[in-house]
Amino acid sequence: MSDTLLRVEDLSAFYGEAQVLRNVSLDVAHGEVVTLVGRNGAGKTTLLRSIMGLHKGTRGVVALDGQSLDGKSADKRARLGLGWVPDNRGIYATLSVSENLSLPPVVDKSAAWSLDRIYEQFPVLHERRDFPGTKLSGGEQQMLAMARPLRAGSRLLLLDEPSEGLAPVIVNQIGQIIRDIKAQGVAVLLVEQNVKFASTVADRHNLLAQGEVVASLDNDEFHSRTTELLEHLGM
Amino acid sequence: MTQFLQYTLQGLAAGGFYALAALGLAVIFGVLGVVNFSHGACYMLGAMISALLLEHFSLGFWPALVIVPVIMFFVGVLVERLLVQWLLRLDPLYNFLLTFGLTLLTVDIMKRQFGVSSLKYEVPAGLGGRISLGSVDLSIYQLFAAAFAVVICLLVWVGLTKTRVGMIVRAATEDAERSRALGINVARWVTPVFGFGIALAGLAGVLAAPYRAINADMGSNFIIILFAIVVIGGLGSILGAVVAGFLVGLVEAYGQGYYGQLSQVLIFVLMAAVVLVRPAGLFGREEAA
């Protein structure tokens, strides 16, 4: 088994004529937390959608555990272990919290968290289990969105701006959850604008500007060059 | 008061057909993203097939109540497999046009075969006549039709809320793309859901057969009202379709009873009022920014 879980190579994405991603390459190892940092409109969400197979106009390689995902539908990719956590949280209003959790099919029995384990880790979800999903607060919805792929046994979480719109104390909680997830051996590809938050949870960083990865660095380097890098990104 | 109760019952009976058909329209739209313009034609076929079963096979209302939805289910499956599925990847407008075309085709074929005059159908034995409740005189068949539609809607509701398939249909109805991204093979449910939605329209047709004029054109007005119902209830909302179905049935009946020619206008006044106050419909969700 190679150490690389997700490999993205020369990925380009288009909206009609407009190119939003230019030859993006990055990889995520098993159990690693890797970020993609960039400002609004840099192409972060498009990259996650392309990896998930939701964006139609793409070119390049996306491979999970050495297996190319080319031509595979989104549901097939999810069943191979990709856990989608969209930027709007993607909670179903017409489903209760517990239904939201049990909706995705279990993809890996040995890795899947039981409902009990989810509720132990996220007591608030247990309290609210019969509530409609969208009656939760923003932070609770984010927890639910992250717990959902864990329940399914995903190997890699694709997190789209989990800190967005949340109070600092909640953001800290989300950060702790990401570290817990990592401790369980689940890898995370985190897309963020919040650089400070990203630096507290991740092992490595990729900086995205105008659809291109302009720098890839480990967390120490990232810390020491934060100001300079942010200027470079125009953030 | 007597009149009011009669109109109410009339409205609930008509609302029953609307609710059943709108429910079918809502699940098809939800899971496939297809606005099925042929839903009115399917309702018409449901009624026509009931009349033909009676004429040629002496199969009355009760057998029709079972046979017609089954036939319509397979008609739906056939149409989805042969035609609709090829257009699912394209702009939703293509399937709208396809089902519009199918409607014109179906209506004209039926006109050619059976003419424009209405086919005969009897109120089933045991459901004819009227029942007196105090000073109020109610049609037994309308009572039955309203109750039957409520029961079917409840059964569908239980199926949607208590089963895994139902949960998947609800999730896909709310957001099909997201459901796929969570690992659900939505494509597997597309054909049965389309068949099921068409079967519900057919069932509404059977219920309408005993007391509406059965002819090739009976679906044309029906589909317009169905679209009004979907707008009032909220596009993509299953509960909204059912509630708005009964609501529109009632408004139509009160309109017919109290204001004669205004009944159809009232439905669209209601629609306009709902859209003004809640643009996404009574149970629709505003798109998140």
The reply to whether B278 falls in a domain is: no
Question: What is the rounded distance in angstroms from the CA atom of residue B148 to the CA atom of residue B20?
Answer: 10
Closest CA to A202 of A214, A217, A212: A217
Is B187 close to A73, i.e. CB distance below 8 A?
A: yes
Total of domains in chain B: 1
pLDDT for residue B289: 29
Question: What is the rounded distance in angstroms from the CA atom of residue A69 to the CA atom of residue A56?
Answer: 13
Q: Per-residue pLDDT for A181 more than 50?
A: yes
pLDDT for residue A2: 54
Which residues in B have their CB inside 8 Å of a CB on A?
167-168, 170-171, 173-175, 177-187, 238, 285, 288
In the block, tokens 């919290």 appear at A97
Report which DSSP code applies to B262: G
* pLDDT average, residue stretch A97-106: 92
When computed from its CA atoms, the radius of gyration of chain A, rounded to whole angstroms, is: 17
Q: Per-residue pLDDT for A229 more than 80?
A: no
Using the Cβ of A148 and the Cβ atoms of chain B, whether some distance falls under 8 Å is answered with yes
pLDDT band (50, 70, 90) for residue A1: very low
Residues of A in contact with B181 (CB under 8 A): 52-54, 74-75, 78, 84, 86, 90
Using the Cβ of A107 and the Cβ atoms of chain B, whether some distance falls under 8 Å is answered with yes
Is A84 close to B181, i.e. CB distance below 8 A?
A: yes
The reply to whether B30 falls in a domain is: yes
Domain that holds residue B165: 16-216
Closest CA to A93 of B28, B187, B240, B49: B240
pLDDT band (50, 70, 90) for residue A223: confident
Closest CA to A64 of A81, A48, A50: A81
**At A190, phi and psi to the nearest 5?**
-110, 125
Q: Note whether A159 and A193 are within 8 A (CB).
A: no
The reply to whether B246 falls in a domain is: no
Is A86 close to B167, i.e. CB distance below 8 A?
A: no
The reply to whether B77 falls in a domain is: yes
Residues of chain B with pLDDT under 70: 285-289
Residue-wise DSSP of A110-162: TTPPPHHHHHHH-HHHHHTTTSBGGGS-HHHHHHHHHHHHHHHT-SEEEEE-T
Is A103 close to B179, i.e. CB distance below 8 A?
A: yes
ipTM field? 0.86
pLDDT per residue as tens digits for the range A47-99: 999 999 998 888 899 999 989 998 899 999 999 999 999 988 889 988 999 99
| E strand segments, A30-81 | 33-37, 58-64, 67-68
Q: Which long-range contacts (CB under 8 A, 24 or more apart) does A162-170 make?
A: A162/A85, A162/A190, A162/A192, A163/A192, A163/A194, A163/A197, A164/A87, A164/A193, A164/A194, A165/A138, A166/A138, A166/A139, A166/A142, A167/A139, A170/A138, A170/A139, A170/A142
Q: Note whether A151 and A104 are within 8 A (CB).
A: yes
The reply to whether B262 falls in a domain is: no
Is B167 close to A103, i.e. CB distance below 8 A?
A: yes
pLDDT for residue B288: 37
Alpha carbon of A64 to those of A3, A22, A82: distances in Å? Answer: 11, 20, 9
Token pair listed for B195: 């068949």
Task: Identify the residue with better confidence: A215 or A83.
Answer: A83
The residues with which A33 forms a beta bridge, in sequence order, are: A188
Question: What is the rounded distance in angstroms from the CA atom of residue B208 to the CA atom of residue B42?
Answer: 12
The reply to whether B270 falls in a domain is: no
Using the Cβ of A104 and the Cβ atoms of chain B, whether some distance falls under 8 Å is answered with yes
Q: Note whether A11 and A21 are within 8 A (CB).
A: yes
Q: Which of A50, A94, A102 to mutate to test the interface with B (most CBs of B within 10 A)?
A: A94
B134: left (phi over 0), alpha (psi -120 to 50) or beta: left
Neighbours of B113 (CB within 10 A): 10
Which candidate from A53, A78, A94 shows the least CB-CB separation from B182?
A78
**At A15, phi and psi to the nearest 5?**
-115, 100
The reply to whether B154 falls in a domain is: yes
The reply to whether B239 falls in a domain is: no
Q: Note whether A178 and A32 are within 8 A (CB).
A: no
Domains of chain A (ranges; CATH) run 4-233 (3.40.50.300)
